[in-house]
Structure 1
């Protein structure tokens, strides 16, 4: 399943697909506070599209 670009909320797996990284890396980012998420229930976390964009923009650019 590919995450749709018009989604407002992404699962960690979908966020990983968007960022083209592994799912566990997304969980590491969330745990470190580098990727903001919302907790819908005790075991249900979602990542806003804006949070993904903010994370990407916060990364240093390399040549």
Structure 2
């Protein structure tokens, strides 16, 4: 995964293994940033940062 890669919603759902509603909850609450260029897109680095934050919280 390249840091500058932009993922569409189905790709992000597949990588996180979550449902559409769970992903849209992350987007709606801005816990996962996104932008709209045609379809909604999630920067790959933001996805990696989100996962890293959860790992750090789990080890506290």
**Same fold by TM-score, threshold 0.5 exceeded?**
yes
> Which portions of structure 1, spanning 4 or more consecutive aligned residues, are displaced by more than 2 angstroms?
none
Give how far 1:27 is off.
Answer: 0.8
State which of 38, 47, 51 in structure 2 corresponds to 1:52: 47
Cross-structure match for 1:37: 34
Partner deviation per Cα, 1:4-47 (whole Å, 9 max, x = no partner): x4581111111010011112211110000100111114xx2100
Gaps of 5+ in 1: none
For 1:11, the equivalent position in structure 2 comes to 8
Unaligned runs of 5+ in 2: none
Higher relative contact order (CA 8 A, sep 6+): 2
